[in-house]
């Protein structure tokens, strides 16, 4: 493959990523229009996104995408000109068009075509044509795309010639679409006299990257004519899709120039802005600069203010136009600063960086250990400084992978729209904490569980409008997605204001299906947790949304696989909240090192509350593994990890209790042999042999080369809190059998990892 082909393929991949982002913007705009049909900014955003996708697709010769998007663009153009209004029918067609564009792009990216999807494409295209034909039958044929009509009605000057101002900006695809911009100028000469014409070439790139097929032209024209505005517009009737045109009438100069300044793309200097909008000529600017140089006033002042004052004094431009140009100049500076602060980096490069930083953390720990053993003060000081630098590098590298959870939340707006329409319900989605950040790898893996919870809330939680009104609720239901940071974790909540959960009904259903015995007793929280039982479902019939008893158990497994937990809070008749608690990152954490027998274990530092002495006289242990201790007037459940993990070696005379907390208010004490202190932990996944091991969530390599296991705080706290039930005791014994069966010797662990 040649270098040119490689660059083309790389650019194409970037286009697909950007196209997906623009499609998301289109969906967001459509959802916004359903709530606010008169929102013109949303309409313009829709058109800009579709036009950008069409134009860029043309660069890469994606004919199917271009042809389909052109039809959608035509409908959107009529929409922004007021010829069409957003209603349910048009909204559904536009949503279907967005879906079809996504499918066409996906097929192009994967180099495949499906016959059924080709037929669907034709169907959606036909629906667009129907909308367009309906428009053409109800409004006059003369409608010029991209022409500024703010200047008012058609002006006639009773035979007297007037000077109009025309501002033209041709799009990059103008040449590729077979149009010559000079033909417009030639036509204008037939209806009047061109007094001045200035070429705007600020967007012409450097010669090294110049593309002769890309149009970078713009013109500012002063046309003296007795023709009306409609005659001038006729010059652009066939080039409306390839240029931005602003026609400023003689009677509305200042206001239109100010609006034109705000619409300009990227001009920077004050003079360039005024020339670009046509308020002054380049000769006027040069004359003002010459006067400025000749000034004998030695006091310092900003050049932009001086030039503007001179132009106003010479009666070349209105003062309010200069003020608007100065404001635009300052906005350009801010935009350049903001635009230059982002760099698109492939995610695999970030993953590689995190892996290298992880190895650096391990090497740094090894160096610190060797320095301590050498007892060399200089070396110890150097390694301590190195450790601080490594920690900063670690935090910086992890920060690169942090993304806002709001980008994931926004995707569910379309889900809520489609499913609520299918079910005949009215539901709105509220988003809170969209700026909360967490690791990209966590975001990617939490998408499916969140999708299932949102669908469940729509299907099972929110009642039908008539039922809600009978209960005294608003007909429109609400689903809320929220995120926040809490104690080194991120808490994501999916809540609804629907019917809530009936614990007794859930228990009855579980007994009917034989999932629990008739003699078992449950607390209210445990009744809610029954929905996570495999095979459990409350649906009366099977639909494409629910009823098969598959889903919530998978949700819990996926969340626990991320070292997270899920809890249910529900009030019958008022709604349900699913609370998901996840670690911020899956790569590197701060840990607390403990020794138990011959093994070394790591407890995530954010879960550690305090450490106390393990006084045998105060502890009450059942079978020397589980029990409780009174701590400041409260009963604290205990687990003796030496017994739980069947660790070898004699226990020390004096042991310690590490008090840990999982999720909300659940606390427990872990009895250990020795406390080793804080440790930067690089998380390594366990091998297949250990994938079902309970109580362990991962492993890490210490500076000495020894492998330490990372404790699953949630599982251990749950085991300690529920220790009095037969089920908890069975889980505890099963855990011991697991560990003994595979052999917890350090050699076995090392070989597997």
If asked whether residues 389 and 435 sit together in one domain, one would say: no
Closest CA to 140 of 224, 59, 237: 237
Look at residue 46 and tell me whether its pLDDT is greater than 60: yes
Q: What is the pLDDT of residue 155?
A: 40
Neighbouring C-beta atoms of residue 479, cutoff 10 Å: 25
Give the pLDDT confidence of 574-598 residue by residue, as tens digits.
999 999 988 877 677 888 999 998 8
Q: Which of 125-134, 220-229, 273-282, 367-376 has the highest mean pLDDT?
A: 367-376
Give the pLDDT confidence of 50-59 residue by residue, as tens digits.
877 887 787 6
Q: What is the CATH number of the domain that holds 167?
A: 3.30.70.260
- Give the residue from 567, 583, 599 where a domain finishes: 583
- Domain membership flag for residue 146: no
What angle, 0 to 180 degrees and rounded to 10, lies between the N-to-C axes of helices 88-110 and 3-35? 160
Report the mean per-residue pLDDT for the chain: 77
The region of weakest confidence among 226-230, 430-434, 606-610, 617-621 is 226-230
Q: Label residues 692-727 b or e (16+ Cβ within 10 Å = b).
A: ebbbbbbbbbbbeeebbbbbbbbbbbbbbbbbeeee
Q: How far apart are CA 50 and CA 74, in angstroms?
A: 10
If asked whether residues 198 and 222 sit together in one domain, one would say: yes
If asked whether residues 659 and 540 sit together in one domain, one would say: no
Tell me the average pLDDT across 150-166.
Answer: 53
- Domain membership flag for residue 148: no
Q: Which of 33-47, 366-380, 653-667, 731-745 has the highest mean pLDDT?
A: 366-380
Exposure of 451 by Cβ count < 10 A (0-12 exposed, 13-18 middle, 19+ buried)? middle
Give the pLDDT confidence of 691-741 residue by residue, as tens digits.
667 788 788 888 777 888 888 888 888 888 776 444 444 555 555 565 555
Residue found under tokens 């006033």: 297
- Give the residue from 291, 309, 339 where a domain finishes: 339
If asked whether residues 414 and 554 sit together in one domain, one would say: yes
Contact 377, 384 (CB under 8 A): no
Q: Give the domain range for residue 671.
A: 588-752
Q: How far apart are CA 421 and CA 667, in angstroms?
A: 44
Give the pLDDT confidence of 113-127 residue by residue, as tens digits.
666 667 788 888 888
Q: What is the CATH number of the domain that holds 454?
A: 3.30.565.10
If asked whether residues 247 and 395 sit together in one domain, one would say: no
- Domain membership flag for residue 331: yes
CA angle 153, 156, 159 (to 5 degrees): 175
Contact 468, 475 (CB under 8 A): yes
Q: What is the CATH number of the domain that holds 628?
A: 2.40.50.180
If asked whether residues 569 and 707 sit together in one domain, one would say: no
pLDDT band at 743 (very low <50, low <70, confident <90, very high): low
Look at residue 112 and tell me whether its pLDDT is greater than 60: yes
Q: What are phi and psi of 236, to 5 degrees?
A: -115, 15
If asked whether residues 574 and 611 sit together in one domain, one would say: no
Supply the DSSP string of 548-571, one letter for each residue.
SS-SHHHHHHHHHHTT-EEEEEEE
Total structural domains within the chain: 5
Q: What is the pLDDT of residue 237?
A: 63
Percent of the chain residues topping a pLDDT of 90? 11
Q: What is the pLDDT of residue 474?
A: 92
Closest CA to 561 of 438, 448, 729, 422: 448
- Give the residue from 339, 365, 391 where a domain finishes: 339
Give the pLDDT confidence of 342-354 residue by residue, as tens digits.
677 777 888 888 8
Contact 260, 246 (CB under 8 A): yes
- Domain membership flag for residue 723: yes
- Domain membership flag for residue 269: yes
In sequence order, the 6+-apart residues with CB closer than 8 A to the CB of 11 are 60
Q: How far apart are CA 740 and CA 732, in angstroms?
A: 12
Q: How far apart are CA 455 and CA 327, in angstroms?
A: 47
Contact 587, 441 (CB under 8 A): yes
Q: What is the pLDDT of residue 464?
A: 93
Closest CA to 260 of 197, 216, 325: 325
Cα 317 → chain centroid = 45
If asked whether residues 358 and 495 sit together in one domain, one would say: no
- Domain membership flag for residue 557: yes
If asked whether residues 263 and 375 sit together in one domain, one would say: no
């Amino acid at each position: 493959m040649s270098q040119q082909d490689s660059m083309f393929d790389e650019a194409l991949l970037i286009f697909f990523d950007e196209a997906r982002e623009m499609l998301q913007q289109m969906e967001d705009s459509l959802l916004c229009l359903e709530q606010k049909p008169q929102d013109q900014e949303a309409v313009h955003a829709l058109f800009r996104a579709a036009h950008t996708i069409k134009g860029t697709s043309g660069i890469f010769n994606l004919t199917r995408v271009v042809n389909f998007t052109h039809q959608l663009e035509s409908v959107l153009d009529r929409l922004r000109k007021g010829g069409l209004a957003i209603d349910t029918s048009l909204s559904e067609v536009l949503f279907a068009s967005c879906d079809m564009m996504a499918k066409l792009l996906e097929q192009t990216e994967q180099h495949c075509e499906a016959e059924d999807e080709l037929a669907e494409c034709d169907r959606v295209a036909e629906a667009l044509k129907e909308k367009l034909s309906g428009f053409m039958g109800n409004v006059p044929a003369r409608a010029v795309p991209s022409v500024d009509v703010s200047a008012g009605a058609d002006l006639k000057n009773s035979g007297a010639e007037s000077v109009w101002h025309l501002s033209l900006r041709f799009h990059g695809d103008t040449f590729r679409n077979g149009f010559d911009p000079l033909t417009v100028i030639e036509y204008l000469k037939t209806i009047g006299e061109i007094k001045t014409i200035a070429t705007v070439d600020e967007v012409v790139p450097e010669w090294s990257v110049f593309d002769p097929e890309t149009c970078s032209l713009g013109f500012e024209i002063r046309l003296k004519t007795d023709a009306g505005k409609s005659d001038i517009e006729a010059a652009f009737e066939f080039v409306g899709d390839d240029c931005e045109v602003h026609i400023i009438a003689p009677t509305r100069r200042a206001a239109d120039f100010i609006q034109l300044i705000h619409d300009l793309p990227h001009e920077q200097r004050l003079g360039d802005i005024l020339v670009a909008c046509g308020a002054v000529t380049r000769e006027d600017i040069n004359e003002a600069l010459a006067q400025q140089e000749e000034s004998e006033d030695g006091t310092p002042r900003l050049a932009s203010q001086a030039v503007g004052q001179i132009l106003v004094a010479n009666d070349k431009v209105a003062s309010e136009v200069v003020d608007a140009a100065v404001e635009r100049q300052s906005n350009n500076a801010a935009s350049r600063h903001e635009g230059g602060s982002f760099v698109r980096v492939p995610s695999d490069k970030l993953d590689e960086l995190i892996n290298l930083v992880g190895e650096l953390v391990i090497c740094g720990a090894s160096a610190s250990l060797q320095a301590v053993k050498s007892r060399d003060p200089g070396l110890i000081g150097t390694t301590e400084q190195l450790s601080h630098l490594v920690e900063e590098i670690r935090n910086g590298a992890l920060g690169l992978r942090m993304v806002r959870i709001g980008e994931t939340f926004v995707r569910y707006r379309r889900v809520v729209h489609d499913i609520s329409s299918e079910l005949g319900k009215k539901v709105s989605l509220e988003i809170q904490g969209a700026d909360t950040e967490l690791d990209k790898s966590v975001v990617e893996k939490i998408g499916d569980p969140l999708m299932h919870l949102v669908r469940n809330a729509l299907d099972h939680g929110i009642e039908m409008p008539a039922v809600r009104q009978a209960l005294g609720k608003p007909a429109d239901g609400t689903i809320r997605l929220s995120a926040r940071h809490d104690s080194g974790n991120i808490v994501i909540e999916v809540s609804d204001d629907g019917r809530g959960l009936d614990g007794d009904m859930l228990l009855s259903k579980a007994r009917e299906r034989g999932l629990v015995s008739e003699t078992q007793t449950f607390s209210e929280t445990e009744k809610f947790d029954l929905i996570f039982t495999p095979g459990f479902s409350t649906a009366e019939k099977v639909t494409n949304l629910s009823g098969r008893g598959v889903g919530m158990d998978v949700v819990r497994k996926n969340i626990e696989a991320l070292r997270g937990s899920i809890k249910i809070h529900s009030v019958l008749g008022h709604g349900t909240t699913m609370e998901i608690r996840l670690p911020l990152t899956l790569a590197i954490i701060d840990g607390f090192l403990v020794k138990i027998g011959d093994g070394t274990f790591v407890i995530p530092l954010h879960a550690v509350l305090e450490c106390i002495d393990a006084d045998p006289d105060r502890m009450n242990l059942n079978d020397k593994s589980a029990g409780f201790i009174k701590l400041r007037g409260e009963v604290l459940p205990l687990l003796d990890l030496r017994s739980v993990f069947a660790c070898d070696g004699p226990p020390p005379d004096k042991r310690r209790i590490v008090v840990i907390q999982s999720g909300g208010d659940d606390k427990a004490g872990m009895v250990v042999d020795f406390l080793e202190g804080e440790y930067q932990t690089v998380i390594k996944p366990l091998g297949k042999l250990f994938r079902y091991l309970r109580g362990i969530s991962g492993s890490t390599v210490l500076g000495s080369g020894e492998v330490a296991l990372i404790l699953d705080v949630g599982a251990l706290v749950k085991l300690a809190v529920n220790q009095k039930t037969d089920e908890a005791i069975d889980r505890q014994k099963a855990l011991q059998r697991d560990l003994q069966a595979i052999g917890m010797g350090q050699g076995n662990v090392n070989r597997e990892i």
